[in-house]
Structure formats: C-alpha cells, structure tokens
Amino acid sequence: MTRSHEHAAEPADSAETAGPVPRAPQTGQGPAGSQADEAQAAAAPSDGEQGIGRGDAPAPGDDPDLELGAGDHEGTEDPEHGGTGVPAADLELSAPADEGAEADGPDRAAADSPDEGPGDEQASQPEPGASGDTGASRSRGPRRPRRRPSRPRTWRSLARRSTAVTTALLLTAAATGLVLWGRSAPAAPAAPVEALSVVESGGTAVYACQAAPKNTLAVVDAGETTSHTVITPVGQAAEATWGQEALDAGATTSMDTASGGVLTIESAGERAASAAGVVTSLTPGGELRGLSAAPCTQPQSVAWIVGGSAALGASAELRLENPGVTSVTVKVALYGSSGRLSLPSNGEVTISAGKAASMLLESGDSQDERLALSIEAEGGSVVPALATESLEGETPAGVDLITPGAGPSTDSLIPGVEIVEGGAQGDATSGTGAASGEASVVRVANPHSEAATVSVTMVGPDGASPLPGAQDVAIDPGSVFDISLRGVAPGAYGVRVTSDMPVASGVRLVRTAAEYPARSGVLMRDKAWIQPAAPDAVAHGVLSIPRSGGLTSTVSLSNSGARRTVRLADVAGSWHQDVVVPASRTVAVEVPTQVSAVTLSAEGGTEGLGAATVVTAQAAQATAGTLISVVPAVPDASSGERKQIILN
C-alpha cells in the first residue's frame, strides 16, 4: 500500500504546477473523466503530512471538506489543496466503523448515503491509485455506498450518557424501596366508626291516605258503604292541608268519605310535625261485604307488601301515589306460589309528579292465590298500597286495604294477631257442612335464589311457644308459602318469623259467618292482612284508633325481645299510660273511648317491639257476622327525617 501512494505523489506535483484541472463531467468515461480521476488520486496523499487511506479516519475538525452531510451532492473544491471539484459521493473515506455502525447493517448505510442517480454510478467507481486497484476494476459495475465515518465520542457525550444511566438507576432503586416499604410497614390501626343520627329541624311532612276498595271485580251488588277519614295533627303543626283544603292544625278532623287524598303538615317548631290519619270503609252486606282500615303513610323508595290473591274471583289492585315534585319510575316484582310472576311492561311504570297510577295484579299470567310483591322507586319515592277484593261464586269473601310494613328480615315480628276458635276463622265446617275456602295463615315469601329455612313462634299473653308444624320449614327459591294457624288457642298474639336468610312475611286473619247464599256450601267471610312492624314505629310512632261508625278497636303491644316499657299518650295531651311489656309477651291496652290517636315511645331500644290496632264491626241480618281489619303503627315524620350517616 505504501508503494502505490508514493507513485501517486509524482503526478500530484505536476498537477499543482500545471494549474487547476478542468471539472470532470459527472457522467461518461471520456478523457476528462480520466484526468479528473488521476488528479483526485494524486491529491489524496497531499493533504498535509498525513494521508487518508483505508485504515485512517480524519480527526474531527482536521478537514471540514471531508465531513459529508446527508445531502452533499455538490462537488467539493479546496483551493489550498488544488481541489478538483469531484463530487462528494466520489470521495471514499474508508475508516474503521464503530460498533454502532456495524450493527446498523446495510440498511442504515444506504439511508445515510446520498441519493445517486444514473450518472453517479460511474462517478462512484473506486480510484485506481487510492487503494492499489487496477484500471480493470472500473468496469465491475456500481460500487456499494459506504456510510460516512462516525465521529469519536467526546467526554461531554459520555458524561451525558453516564448521568442518564445514573438517574435511571436511582429512580428504579427509589421505586423498589417504596414498594418494599409499603409491604412491610405495619397498617395504621382503624378507628371505630359509629353511625351519627342527624335530625332535620322543622320542615313539611307529606302523607297519602288511601281510598277504599273501588269494586275492581265489577260486581252488581256492591252493598252500602259507610266511610270515614279521620286526621289528627301531631306535634307543633302550623298548617294542615288536605288536597287544596285547609284543615284545623290544632284539632282532629273527621270526614264522611273514603276517597283518599294527600295530606300536608307544615311544622311550626324545630321538630317536624306529624299526623295520625286513618281511612275506614264498612260494607255490612252485598257482594263486597267487609271492613277495611288503613293508615295514612309517607312516601318510600323501597317497600314490601305480603298478601292478597289474584286467583279466580279475586282482585288485587296495586296503587302507587307520587306526591313529590318529580317523575318517578317504579319497578314492581311479583312473587307467587311457584316463583316470580309476569306483569305488564315487566312491572315498570312511570308516574308524573303529583299523580297516581294503579296496576291489576290478576292480569296476564299472574293469577295466583298467594302473592307478595316488592316496590322500588327510582328518582323519588311513592306511597304504595294494595286493595284486595274477593268473591267465591256468589259468596262474599272479604275486602281489605294493605299498606307496607318492614321489608325482608331474618327476625320479624307481626303484631295484632287475634286468634278465635276454629269455627269462626275458617278452620272447621258449619253444621250444614259448609266450609270456608280460606283460613288464618302466616305467609312467607323467599325472594332469594336459594331455599330459606323458616320457623314460626307465637308470642302470646303467657309467653312464646313454637307453632306446631312450622319449625325449620323450607321455602323454595322465589316462592310464597302459607303456614296454617290451625290449632292455636284463642287470644292476642304477635307472630315471630325467624329464618336463615331475610324473608318477607305477613299474616292473614279470617272471620267466617253463615252460609250464603243458602245451600251454596260456602261460608261468608272477611279477612285482614297484617305486615311486620315497621322500624321505629314504636320508638317514635303514631297509632290511629278508629271508633266512628260503630267500630270497636283494641290496641295490642307485642314484644319478642327483652322487657320494655312503652308510653302511649293522647295527641291532645289529656291522657297517657306507661305499659310494661314483659319479654316474649303480648299485652292488650285499654284506651279511653275519646282518644282517636296516640303517640308511642319506648326506652332502651325498640328491637322486637310491635304495636297495632285490631278493628272489628258486626254485620246484621242475612249477612250477620264479624268483620275485621288491622291498623299498624307508623313512624312519625321525625323518624322519616332521621338519617344514619357513617363518618369515615
């Protein structure tokens, strides 16, 4: 290699003395191109004292003309060295490539080389004197482009890379340390969290009072009805309004109607005012013979009603009242003897503000003699009720108006259960062989997808005793089951229902009369449905005691827990009585005849307490017999405004 460089040096001197060499054309192999190649080869060893061969790379900054860019297609001229104007692509800078250049491969080298047109292929031939190649090598075809030499890394670039690597290592170590610390650090002890009761002062209480059953069976002889609506404001009420009519906020109002309506009570003090309202309807004769009595209740977002029938000859009308100021969407789930029952529109209905809607449960495929239903409101709350009517052939089978009680629970108490001798409640046939198609029962609904195990206990005046044949009863998933009360001794009871999972429950009381029509073989009857005691109904509740129109009322208190003392007080403040209810006992309370409503309060908690008024009336002549209904205690307005807030 050294010998070829020395031979190339001689023409270089002659080239310098002869003057500038004409610029070689970029295409063709004529004499001008040959002279340009010779001049380029002769100039190679004349760049200072150091020649540039295959094993030498130019030092950074030594010769800026040899540092080629990505787009250097123009010829390079160097007056100092007698530049020949040869294109930059023709300068072959063969230097040892660094590791990164070798790793890039031919694709990277091709990308870094300038674009070469057809004329560049011949201009890129290797120089005969630069590498010792002979002239014959010029005819081999286009030379593969070479990647420009990379500059050696300076101390600054090395410092930057070292800093980046060090920073990444430090961040990784810090993150790893945080993770390990989080796993090994002991958890902070959790402070006990308790519910805080917050009572809203004053405000407006809204109630809905239900109308009497409306002959949804469309019978011809509905009978004559005596109706009453009695409303008594409770607490410091500033105003009382019945629909658009103003009532006396400081006295009891009695109306000879059972058309129903919305009751609004405005408070005058710091505590919300309430109301004790009840609607009664007595029909002693006709095909709708019976007695219904229902309290005025406040709106709810979730409610359960257990009772009623949709079998042939029976009607169950679900009523939904929306006394609010926004539309509410209500979803109804109906359960029957064998599981869920279908409803029109899948049980969904939208109720506009201030409006009401109704739904007949016997429509479609829901004809079943055992019913239970849940009501859920979205976007507000509603006041639900279930009006029932029954007719067995031509024989009156009773009416009632059911309002919600407590929802599904593993331990429920149903107060106001009065048992009479078997022949008077449908358990036996009459002397003529006539029978009642219904008897007193405990109804249990299992809304779950698994079977529930249920036991029933009678809480009576002498203590609690298990109901025979009603221990560890399996209730199929989604089904409704009736448990007979046959054989229970006459008296006042509370029915306790316990289970291994929450179930809904209720009690049906039956009062039978004579055979009607004659020789029909069917006994007339009336019935009353009772729901489990609502939460806070005894601790902060009101209880109506209807007496007008010849009605007889008896107040019953049941206690399935420890001993409690319950205070009953006249709303007007003229009478009160503290009643001790022993554990697992039911007590009947005598209330003066002039008292139409009482407030209830209890010390030491209200778990296992229930109160109700058992209302009866006597029919005469051909339809003689006892008619019955039960009015449950309801929480007052302050209980409705009391919220449980978890402070986290």
- In the chain, the amino acid numbered 507 is V
pLDDT, greater one: 86 or 253: 253
d(CA 441, CA 448): 22
| Residue 356 pLDDT | 96
Is residue 495 a part of any domain in this protein? yes
pLDDT tens per residue across span 576-635 = 999 999 999 999 999 999 999 999 999 777 789 999 999 999 999 889 999 999 999 999
| Residue 150 pLDDT | 55
- Six token digits for residue 127: 């120089």
* Half-sphere exposure (Cβ direction) of 111: Cα atoms closer than 13 Å: 6
pLDDT, greater one: 100 or 516: 516
| Residue 371 pLDDT | 97
Our count of domains for the chain comes to 1
| Residue 145 pLDDT | 52
d(CA 35, CA 42): 10
- Six token digits for residue 523: 């006994």
Instruction: For residues 521-533, give the mean pLDDT.
Output: 96
The answer to whether residues 569 and 604 touch, using CB atoms and an 8 Å cutoff, is no
Burial profile 38-65: b = 16 or more Cβ within 10 angstroms, e = fewer: bbbbbbbbbbeeebbbeeebbeeeeeeb
Is residue 19 a part of any domain in this protein? no
pLDDT, greater one: 29 or 544: 544
Residues ≥6 apart with Cβ < 8 Å to 8? 41, 42, 44, 45, 129, 130
d(CA 363, CA 386): 15
Q: Is the dihedral of CA 499, 503, 504, 507 positive or negative?
A: negative
Range of the structural domain that residue 542 is part of: 204-645
- Six token digits for residue 274: 């309430």
| Residue 640 pLDDT | 56
3-state SS of 357-388 is EEEECCCCCCCCCCCEEEEEEECCCEEEEEEE
Token match 């554990």: residue? 583
Of 79, 80, 100, 85, residue with least CA distance to 26: 85
Residues ≥6 apart with Cβ < 8 Å to 437? 392, 397, 426, 522
pLDDT, greater one: 585 or 29: 585
- What's the distance, CA 65 to chain centroid? 76
Is residue 471 a part of any domain in this protein? yes
pLDDT, greater one: 98 or 442: 442
Least confident range of 41-55, 176-190, 359-373: 41-55
d(CA 293, CA 629): 6
Burial profile 141-158: b = 16 or more Cβ within 10 angstroms, e = fewer: eebebbbbbeeeeeeeee
Mean pLDDT for the chain overall: 79
Question: Where residue 115 falls among pLDDT bands split at 50, 70, 90?
Answer: very low
d(CA 52, CA 37): 16
Is residue 74 a part of any domain in this protein? no
Question: Where residue 148 falls among pLDDT bands split at 50, 70, 90?
Answer: low
Is residue 268 a part of any domain in this protein? yes
The answer to whether residues 210 and 385 touch, using CB atoms and an 8 Å cutoff, is yes
| Residue 188 pLDDT | 56
Mean pLDDT comparison of 16-30, 202-216, 486-500, highest-scoring range: 486-500
Is residue 9 a part of any domain in this protein? no
The answer to whether residues 545 and 553 touch, using CB atoms and an 8 Å cutoff, is yes
pTM of the predicted model, to two decimals? Answer: 0.70
pLDDT tens per residue across span 250-289 = 999 999 999 999 999 999 877 789 999 999 999 999 999 9
d(CA 15, CA 202): 114
| Residue 189 pLDDT | 58
The answer to whether residues 300 and 639 touch, using CB atoms and an 8 Å cutoff, is no
568 three-class SS: strand
- Six token digits for residue 113: 């080389």
d(CA 72, CA 115): 9
d(CA 170, CA 166): 6
Q: Give the start-end residues of each E strand in 437-490.
A: 441-445, 452-460, 463-466, 473-475, 480-484
Beta partners for 198?
Answer: 643
- What's the distance, CA 485 to chain centroid? 39
- Six token digits for residue 392: 């067995």
Residues ≥6 apart with Cβ < 8 Å to 79? none
Token match 């107060």: residue? 415
The answer to whether residues 332 and 359 touch, using CB atoms and an 8 Å cutoff, is yes
Is residue 122 a part of any domain in this protein? no
508 three-class SS: strand
| Residue 180 pLDDT | 78
Mean pLDDT comparison of 294-298, 633-637, 643-647, highest-scoring range: 294-298
- In the chain, the amino acid numbered 612 is A
The answer to whether residues 384 and 300 touch, using CB atoms and an 8 Å cutoff, is yes
Question: Where residue 210 falls among pLDDT bands split at 50, 70, 90?
Answer: very high
d(CA 506, CA 508): 7
| Residue 178 pLDDT | 76
